[in-house]
Amino acid sequence: MMGRFKSLAGKQLIYESYDRLLELWGVDKEELDIDTRYGTTHIIISGSRTNPPLLLFHGSGTNSAMDWLTNVQELANYFFIVAVDFFEGAGKSEPNGSYTKEFDLGLWVDDILNALNIYKTNITGISYGGYMTLAYAAKSPDRVNKIVPMSFYLPEKNLKTTLLISRSLIACLPTILNPTEENAMKFLKKITGPNFDISSLHKEFLKQWFYMLKYSRIKKQKEVTRFDNQAISVFRDKALFLIGDCDILAYHPSVIKTYSKYGLKYKVLKNVGHVVHMEQPELINKVFIEFLLK
């Protein structure tokens, strides 16, 4: 299997930056490696175990240290945070041979929750992490309290979903083919809202963003389920979708029509792009707290 990193030197740069980002989280935390049937899963836990659990899934190609930098300090006051590094990304989880042959998202998340003695949890995820949030809620509804998928359209069984995926790939392609620091910053600017100043992000985040694009391999995701009405009915009453109206990777008027068609709760954030939780962290944190704890 082709490795997740293009070189050992690049992997080291990513991991060293990962550790520096964790120091910026501003909360007490612990890193754990959990043995699952698909490999060693790296997680970061924070907050009191007496708080309601909140599972965090990062976006495609990224990792937990960078994706939750702007949110975890506030959220850890209200939740027991479990930030999970997925196998396909610039994180610290290491897949085994079983992962390369077959992968069941539900069984993998069950392994994580069981290792932490968590029976029922809240979940949120950004981008592909939003899909993971939906997929687990559909497969294991008894183990899920509420979910907040962000910056991810509902993948239906139709041509529209295929076209949205193609649009995302086209937007990413120039940077993937030529991952210079300049192109990395241009891509970040492209996927954020028009009023967002990417220089407001911490310099270590920007460094990790460049390292991720240059030195890790962003692979096709292992599993994508197309949801029908029966599957959606399982999580309809426990889900709140968040999406920016300037998100070139996920937003389209047809996405909002789909939410409405299935009677799903959603919020469209004005002048916000793909990384909603970083562009509007105070608002997103407030939404999490109010929706998940009520």
Domains observed in the chain: 8-293 (3.40.50.1820)
Compute CA 140 distance to the chain's CA centroid, rounded to the nearest angstrom: 19
Per residue of the chain (294 residues), give pLDDT as tens: 458 899 999 999 999 999 999 999 999 999 999 999 999 999 999 999 999 999 999 998 899 999 999 999 999 999 999 999 999 889 999 999 999 888 999 999 999 999 999 999 999 999 999 999 999 999 999 999 999 999 988 876 654 555 565 555 556 656 566 678 888 898 899 999 999 999 999 999 999 999 999 999 876 555 567 777 888 888 999 999 999 999 988 898 888 988 999 999 999 999 999 999 999 999 999 999 999 998
Global pTM value = 0.92
Q: Which residues pair with 125 in a beta bridge?
A: 57, 149
In contact, 30 and 13? CB cutoff 8 Å: no
110 close to 84: Cβ distance less than 8 angstroms: no
| Beta-bridge partners for 225 | none
